[in-house]
Amino acid sequence: MFDLVLGTNNAKKLIELRLLLPEDRIRLTSLAEIEGSIDVDETGATFTENAALKATVQAVHLGRWVLAEDSGLTVDALRGEPGVYSARYAGTHGDDNANNDKLLAALEAVPDDKRDAKFNCYLCLSDPEGNVRLEANGTCGGRIARSRSGGAGFGYDPLFVIPEYHRTFGELDLTVKRALSHRSRALRRFVPQLLRLIDSL
């Protein structure tokens, strides 16, 4: 059994990842379950840089394998904002309501056909010495609605419309979301590489 630390305290991300990783091969632990884990400053200018920072710094601190991810929303009409600031777009980290309000205000004058957006997920695996061993990314395209809809998910999910379904991530069944999400797409690329790496150790 390969012992892997997920470099986040976000319980919802942990649930998503546990559903996608083979539980007979990988034991996944979150930072919330580890005494002495640290908060890593996300000072990178890109999702890739932040994922690498969170993985390598935490791995060296804990002396364990760490899988970190950085994800966020990029909106075409806002020249890629909120981007790496997605979780703290309105100022306070993790204030979903304030972040959604700010996004709606920023797009108020933008017509429906110009509200294209993308969810991005970048994964990084670090060994206990702080070496990046694997990286993968995934994206999911959609558009920003004019008001929230649906209570499922978190973050910008109630505003992110999947055009093919005419529903937001906040309305979609978790099974459908898992098939479509940026995190799922990144993990589908990542997991086969991880299993090959485990076999080679």
Is 71 within any annotated ligand binding site? yes
The closest alpha carbon to 85, from 76, 95, 157, 77, belongs to 95
Q: What is the pLDDT of residue 13?
A: 78
Q: What is the pLDDT of residue 83?
A: 97
Angle, nearest 10°, between helix axes 182-200 and 11-20? 60
Q: pLDDT digit of tens for each residue in the chain (201 aa)?
A: 999 999 988 777 788 788 878 889 999 999 999 989 999 999 999 999 999 999 999 999 999 999 999 999 999 999 999 999 999 999 998 899 999 999 999 999 999 999 999 999 999 999 999 999 999 999 999 999 999 999 988 899 999 999 999 999 999 988 888 889 998 899 999 999 999 999 999
Is 61 within any annotated ligand binding site? no
Catalytic residue among 3, 39, 70, 95: 70
Domain ranges of the chain: 2-200
pLDDT in tens, 139-185: 999 999 999 999 988 899 999 999 999 999 999 988 888 889 998 89
Q: What is the pLDDT of residue 154?
A: 87
Q: Is 70 a catalytic residue?
A: yes
Q: What is the pLDDT of residue 196?
A: 96
Is 9 within any annotated ligand binding site? yes
Q: What is the pLDDT of residue 17?
A: 81
Per the document, the length of the chain is 201
- Is residue 159 within 8 A of residue 178, CB to CB? The reply is no
Is 97 within any annotated ligand binding site? no
Under CATH, to which class is 2-200 assigned? alpha beta
Is 37 within any annotated ligand binding site? no
Q: What is the pLDDT of residue 9?
A: 81
